[in-house]
Each structure stands twice: as structure tokens, then as C-alpha cells.
Amino acid sequence: MQRWPVLLFLAWVCFLFFAGIGLFMSGFLLTRIELASSSSCSDPLVPPPWERQSLPPGSCWAPQRFAKAVLVIIDALRFEFAHFNPAKASPLPYENKLSFLHRLATSQPRHARLYRFRADPPTATMQRIKGLTTGSLPTFIDVGSNFATYAIQEDNLLAQLVQNGRRVVFMGDDTWEGLFPKKFFRSYFFPSFNVKDLHTVDDGILQHLYPTVDSGEWDVVIAHFLGVDHCGHKHGPDHPEMAKKLTQMNEMLRSLVDHLGNDTLLLVAGDHGMTETGDHGGDSEKEVNAALFVYSKTPLFGTSPPEEPEAVPQVNLVPTVALLLGVPIPYSNIGEVMAELFSGDGDAVSAALQQLSVYHINAKQVDRFLHSYSLVAQDLPAEQLQHLQELFSSAMEEHTQLLAQVQGETLVPPELESRLGSLISRFQLYLREARAVCTQSWARFHPLRMVGGCTLIAASCLLCYVASELAASSDSFYRRYLLYPLLWGLVVAVLLGLAHAFTQEGLDLLLVLSWAAAASQLGFFWHWWGQHPKRVRLAGSQPPLATVSLRERLRAWLRLAFPMGILLFRCGAMFSDSFVVAEAQVAPFLLASLVMLLVGKLHWDGRLTVPEGPKQQLLGFSSYRREIWYLLCLVAMLLVCVRLSGFFHQCREEIPQCRPSLFLSPLASLRNTRAKNLFYLLCVALLAGLVYAVRSWLRHYGNLNSSDPLVLFVRWCFPLVVLCIACYWAVASSADDSLGKLQELVQVAVVAFPWAVYGLASVGLLLLLCNPMTVFAKDTRESAGSIVTPYLGVPSSEVNFLHVIPQIYKRMQESQKSRLERGSCKATVAAYGLGSVYSAALVIALTLLGFLLMLLHSERLSLAFLLLFLEAFVLLHIHTRAKGLAGDAEPFSVPWYAVISWLLAASQFFYSTGHQPIFPAIHWNAAFVGFHLDHSTNLLPAVLVGANTFASHILFAVGCPLLLLWPFVCEMPSSQRKKPKEELQEVEEHMMEMRLRECPEKFSTALLQLGLKYLFVLGTQLLACVCAAMILRRHLMVWKVFAPKTHRVHLQAKDIQGREPKVRIPDQKW
């Protein structure tokens, strides 16, 4: 079996999964339709003539109350950060720091007020900016654009300001540059993605803020500070650095108010909050509960503030600011005006009339939007739209009658005030119900595409299972089951392309790829079914099933049933939100259960006991094999690893009693110097222990005896990599202000040491790809020529390189044959490391990847990675022992339980490295390991964050071939087995992985089967995820639980399938 067909077959299967995932995602995560319409001053939403006569020049729709406005956005300003509680004797670092806001609100209650500013999830910065400027709601899929911002096309507040001749000056977060290109009169953008940088953006804003305000060359100033948000990501809210940053914001606001004029409105807002760990993105109470502070030097409010601050949705800011500044409300706004800001200085009736006027404008604008939207989209329920129309019509009718009575002066003030209050309440009810309908309905699905995606994924899973059974039984496997299906898919793709070319319609590439994938799957199953009758006829010549004992049939059934039962339970759990929330406990439990069931099955099959002799039969008991104790010790070690991995957990907000692990926070967050030093020494010592264990294993099997570059790299560069990581941890864990004059040197070291690790690991992986052999061969016969030529660099041709191991193996066979002919027991050829040549390369690759992935995590999570390597080692030995005890006659087959347990361990350590399938749990810090400034593109940070998130899946996917190789590496010497006495005199050498050279065709087939089994198990979980998301798409928790879980599994599948299990086999054939 050739190498390239195997790789091509696995790549084709991955393409089938990708097509199914893409088709499903295109139907599940659709964005809402954005209308191209925009508001203007000439729209028929203006007030009645008797009110319109009082509009000052330059005002649209409503009288302009303020000529200027300053919007200060303090990113991640949680309400608790702005609220002042004088009863707190010892406040936390984030409490009572914005005292200036409290002083303004208490000393000038009609000029200032604090609100709870309720953000709509997802609470990512870009989505909040969209909500704060358009007055609309972002959909779930918009989160994927958070760091690849696209210009806002629909009508928004900034577009209205510019359209009406207002000068907008911006300074701060450069996210606004991508959202609003060429919209600013003057702008000062600063890089925002580096969450470790607390001061660059804030200091840049402070440098320009006061001169800009004093210049007067502006109408609206927007300043977006990022220090509080970055401090939360880096240290968390409960840290002294947060107190410093909030104090800086307090002084900034104190100075800014002194520079404001009487015609200026000041708005201080948080775009979202943050969790106790400083993260955001989800919909927990602390993430959506931001702060809004409103202030003006002229009176704003007609009444005193309530005892408890009022909660205001963030979208309400858009219509409020638009009407206060005298510009039209953006066309797609669904927010409600904050009517108390329009009260003025008059009596209660005049204040109510002004509030009614803005409510009337707001309601007509929302009604116009709903009518326009319902004409181009069908996602708003017709019956709810009808109900909203009835509410609006009745309110407008009463509004017309009331205005007529007001003009006729037929109402006395008490009755008028009551009627005004009632009508205002009706408009409020309409606006709030309209917003609720949009919130519930803007999850537009395409059921046909979702069903098609699920069908493609299900067919891909079935194909993996069938192909894994066919690979070893068909001589023309690749021609029938790869070449023909590929031709079917190619023909369909060409035909669809030609059809689009002739019809002049737009080409939907995703649909073309999906149809091509479906056609290739149909071709595979067509040829498989064509061979099915032949297999049935051949099976008819076999002994009937009745001749097999019931016990044997049950054993054969259980061999497949019990691991598949665990997999079925795992997939079924994805349909329950409680199981998805508790998956961090479910995956380890299933892994432990699978291993325990394996031991029980071995006992039930009688594989753990020795054959009963006459004496044992007489006494009525059986004696156990000695290997059982070693197996039980391995199982106990696995259970200990599973238990210890729970100490590295991250929490979900659905489990309020949960507290995140202390190991997740970086060492820099520790205030106790002694504890920091002890943890640092422990992490470095365990990292050095990993290198020692790997080198000892390689030395034990003779893979460190040659002088090849890869062997020299393992000897000398592995310790150097550990040294670089240790130095990086040392400088990264130091406090920012504790090094004084060495701060500049530290900034260089924080970048240099990670790059040294990147460089060394890249060199090691390159050497591994060029020359993966770690074999040293020696011929002890004086007359014999050299076995292989010494290493002279990268081989000049692949043919020369691929014949190295066959040369060694052939010479050893000749030596063995010559020795047997002479009757001599003296070996003439010594080859060191040949018995573990394949697994040694994988172990080196896993170690290098482990270094890179540990670097992208916080220091103390290196303990979780070492636990990962230990558990993987234990699983390999359990698999080897179980396979030996079961007496498996097929050494080239990996049983299903081994593959399923391997993937369960990968899922277990996804959670045990501090991750959760929720947006606030993403480790954004990984994007800046080795980078001090912002990235020029989004590709590299996406790769680093993805590697951090799916670290466990990457390691287990790369190490998957060890499931096939490890039983050969751990081959027991024949002298330890029970043998006839006449054979005890012969000395049998360890063959180990050299056995793979005896059957190269079986070896390559086994690798293909292993890859297909791995993809089958992964695809089955993916299928369960997409089916759960599709069936439960109207579930209350779909966007909170199921959608993030589906998104994570999709990305995990893409990441793993890009690293499909394969081994580079040094020969012409696999």
C-alpha cells in the first residue's frame, strides 16, 4: 500500500467532514438582515406643526438640547466599579474608587445620575460598539468577527452626526477604525488587542483629550479607554492594579468636567462588565451589568433620583443621544428614549408633553423599521407583528385625540397630566414589547441547510466505519473506494460550475463543495454496495453462526458493544444542557468507567486467571495471573490522574457555587512572594523532570546513541528549551513596577525568550521531518562493510533516505541467518533504537509540541500538562496490557475502546487546562506570548489562541499512532512467557517495531484503519453536537450552552482533522 493514497484517503474524509460542518454552520449561525435604509431630516416622522414651529435651526425631529457631547467609554466598567457605598469601611480594590461621580450625583442631583447599563449578550467589545451606535442587537455569529472588525453598513449614530454636519473626534480603541472608516473629523487610534498593555491606550487618550476639548473644534468627542478591561484580563478585578487604574479614571473625569461648557452633555459608559476572573463575552449578571453616568452643567432632570439606580438597556442610548443632539434616530434602532432627560425646567405638564413628543417620534421610527424589516425577512412572527401593530395603532389614535384636546384646551391640568402619563405608558409598552420580539426572533435558521449538514456528517461517520472494515479486505481498495468517489465528486462540481456559468447566477462555493462531497459519498457507497452480494455469497460458505457457542457470540458482541455504549452515552449527553454544563465531570467519569469496564470484561472472559488444573478444580478456586497486579496498579494510577486533573478547572456562571482553580491565574497575580517562588520552582522542576523522563526513555531503547542532528538536538537543546521557558516565566511573573531601571530589559526578555523557544522547537520539528531516525547501527565483524553511510546532512534524494531502515533490517537479517548457519550465538550486527524507531520520533514531536503549548498557558498550568503526559503514558500501558491479556491474534488492529478512551482523555484535559466552551473562558493572553506590541494581522493571534484552546486535542491527535506502536515497543520477551522446555535453550531477540517491517502492507493498512476509527469517534461526537443544536435551536439555553459547545466542537474537529493520525514511515511504501 503506497503512502500517498493513504494520506489522500484521510484528507478526502476530512474534506467530507468540513463540507458538512460548513453547510450546517451556514444554516445555523445566520446573521439578521441589515437594512440599507437610513433616516433623514425630511422623513415623515416630524412632530405636529404646532410643535415643529418651536424647533431651533439645525434640529431634526426634536429640539436640540445640547450643542456638544462627550462620550467617555471605560471598557468593562462594571456597575460595582462606578457605584459608591460610603458604608464600606474596607472596600475591595475595585470599590469606591470613582468617588467623583458619587460627589456629582449627590451634590447636583438634577444635573447628574447613575444608571445600571444593561448590555445585550454577547458581551464582546465589537458587538457592544455596534449596539451603542446602531440601537440594534448583534447576533450570535457576530462574535466571530470581534477581532476582524468589518465596517458597519446599516444606519448608525455616527453616520447621522456626520450626515448632519457634526464634527466627531475619536481617540482610543482602534476597533472603531474598522467599524467606522473615514467617519471622524479627527482621530487618534491606539492598538487594542494586547490585553497585557494597561497604559498605552489610556495614556494616548489623556495626551489628546484636554487639548481637543479646549480647542472647540468638535461637536462630539468619543474617548474609549481600555486600561480597566486589560487590567481585568491580566490581573482580575480584585487586584491592586485595578485600584490604580480606576483611580486614574476618577482623576481623568474630575479634570474633564472642569473643561466642559454649559452646552455640553457628558456620558460616561461601560460597554460591558467583567466576571470575577476579569473575562467577558457571555451573559452572566456581572458581564451584562455595566454603568452609565449622565452629567450636564445645566439641569437635566425634573425629579429627584430614585433610591436604587434605574436599569437601562444599552440600545436606549442611541435614540436618546440622537434626539438630544438634534439628529434623526438611526433607521434600525429598536431602543427606547430615556424620557427623563427631556423633562426641562417647566412644570409637570410641560415635562410630560415633551416626553410624549419624543416617545411619539421613537414609536413611529420603530414601527417604520418593523414594517420595512417584515417586507424583506420572515423571521419575525406574523401574529406578534399584528399584536404590535394593534398596540401602536391604538396609541397613535389616542395620541391624536389627546393633542386635539390639548390644542382646544378642553382638559384641566390634573386630568391632562393623568392622560399624558397613561399615553406615555402605552408607548413604553409598545417599544419594550417590540424590542422583546426582536430579541427572541433574531436567530434566523435555514432548516434545509442544517439537515443537509447533519446528513453529510452522518454519512461521513458511516463511511469511516465501513472503510475501516474494508481497508484490510480489498486488494483494489483505493481504486474502488477512493479514485471512483473522487471522480464522482469532481464531475458533479464541474457540472454545477458550468450550470452557474450558463445561467449567469452567483456561484455559492459552499453549496458546490457540499454537493461534490455528497456525490463522492454516494460513489463510495455505490461501489461498496456493489461488492456486498459477493461478500454475502462468500459468507455463505462459512460455518453457520449456530455452530458458535452462545458465550463466544456474546463475547464478540460485547467486544464492540461496551466501548460503543460509552460513546453513545457521551453523544446522548450533548442533548442535555445540564450535562453540557457539567461536561468537565462527565468526560473523566466516562473515561474511568470505560477502563473499569475493560478490566471487568477481561475478568468475565477469563483472561485474568490461569488455566485451572486438577488441584484448583478440586478446591474450587482460580488463581490470577501475575500481570493482573500490574494492570490494577495502572488503573489505580489512571484514577489518581483523573482525580488530580479536577484541580485545574475553570467555572461556568451556571454553577454559582463553583470557584475557579487557583492554578489558572498567572504567578504575577500572587501577592505572597514566598508562594510565588515555591510555585515557580515546582513548575521548573517538573518541566526539567519531563525532559529527564523523555531522554531516559529514549536512552533506554537506544535512541540516543547516534550522532545524528536530531539526537544531538534532543541531548543539548531540550535542556536549553527548558531554560528559556524558565527564564520567560521568571520575567513574566515579576511585578511591573518592581524592577525599576531594569524594566526596559525585562520588556526585551519577555519577547526574546518565547521567540527562542519558538525557534528551537521549529528547528527540532524541521529536523524531525527531514530525518526522523534515531538509529545507531554497528557491525562487529571486522571484514564487513558499513551498514549505512554516515550522516552527511539532509539526504540528496528521498529514495536514498527511504532505504536507510530497509538496509539496516536487511543486514541484520543476513547476520542472523549467517549466525544460525554457523551455530554461533554471538551477534554480528548491533542496531540501537531500531525497535522503537517510529515511536521515538513521535515522543520527540510530542515533547516539542508540549513545550510550545505550555509556553502559551500560565505557568502553573504546566502541572496539568505534565499530568496529561503521565495519563497518556498510563493509558498506553493499560491498552498494551489489556491487549496482551486478551490474546489478540491481530497485532495490527487497535481496538475501539483504546481509540474512545484516547479521545475521552483529550476532552478531559481540554477542561483540565483551564478551558470551557464559553467565550469568557478563552485565554486571549496566549496571543501575546512573545509579542510586546499589537499584531499587524489577525492570523497569528488566531493561531496562538487556537493552539492554547485546543492544546490537549492537538497532543492526543499527534500521539494517536502510539496506540498502534506501543504494544510493539512494550513487547514482552519470550523467555518470560510459558514455553515448552525444549525451546527454553533458544535465545529470542526483541523484535519490537521491527515486526512492522515484516508486513509493510498490514502496517500501512493499520495506520489507515486507526485514522478512520479516530475520525469516526470524533465525527460521531460532532454529529451529536450539531443534531442537538438543530433540534434544540429554540431552546432557552441554545445561545448560552448549545451554540458555544457546537462552535467549540466544530473548531476542535477542524483542528484535529488538520492533524490526522499519521506516521512518516521511512520506506518506499507505507
Pairing mode of beta strands 112-118, 289-296: antiparallel
Quote the radius of gyration of the chain (alpha carbons, Å). 35
Which residue, among 1016, 906, 1031, has the nearest Cα to 24 in the 3D structure?
A: 1031
DSSP 43: S
Give the pLDDT of residue 1064. 39
Give the pLDDT of residue 337. 93
The four Cα atoms 450, 453, 454, 459 give a dihedral, to 10 degrees, of 160
Which residue, among 20, 18, 1053, 1032, has the nearest Cα to 580 in the 3D structure?
A: 1032
DSSP H or E run through 756: helix 743-770
Q: With beta carbons less than 8 A apart as the criterion, state whether 746 and 734 touch.
A: yes
For residue 916, give Cα distances in angstroms to 122, 590, 649, 853, 1055: 16, 18, 9, 17, 17
Angle of helix 1043-1057 versus helix 951-958 axis, rounded to 10: 30
Query: Alpha-carbon distance 33 to 350, whole Å?
Result: 40
Give the pLDDT of residue 1. 43
Which residue, among 544, 501, 166, has the nearest Cα to 327 in the 3D structure?
A: 166
Q: With beta carbons less than 8 A apart as the criterion, state whether 971 and 990 touch.
A: yes
Q: With beta carbons less than 8 A apart as the criterion, state whether 973 and 840 touch.
A: no
Give the pLDDT of residue 696. 93
Q: Which three cell numbers stand for residue 761?
A: 522547537
Give the pLDDT of residue 126. 77
Cα-flanking dihedrals φ and ψ of residue 775, to 5°?
Answer: -110, 135
Q: With beta carbons less than 8 A apart as the criterion, state whether 319 and 336 touch.
A: yes
Query: Alpha-carbon distance 837 to 818, whole Å?
Result: 25
**Cα dihedral sign for 953, 954, 959, 963?**
positive
Give the pLDDT of residue 618. 47
Q: What residues are paired with 68 via a beta bridge?
A: 264
Give the pLDDT of residue 552. 64
Following DSSP, what letter does each residue of 693-714 receive, concatenated?
HHHHHHHHTTTTSS--HHHHHH
Query: Alpha-carbon distance 467 to 450, whole Å?
Result: 26
Give the pLDDT of residue 547. 45
Q: Which long-range contacts (CB under 8 A, 24 or more apart) does 377-383 make?
A: 377/32, 377/33, 377/444, 379/32, 379/441, 379/442, 379/443, 379/444, 380/437, 380/438, 380/441, 381/437, 381/441
Q: Which three cell numbers stand for residue 545?
A: 453462526
Q: Please list the ranges in the chain whose pLDDT falls under 50.
A: 1, 49-53, 142-149, 536-548, 617-621, 782-802, 824-825, 827, 973-988, 1035-1039, 1042, 1059-1070
Q: What residues are paired with 1051 via a beta bridge?
A: none
Following DSSP, what letter does each residue of 766-799 receive, concatenated?
HHHHH-----EEEE--TT---SSPPP-SS-SSHH
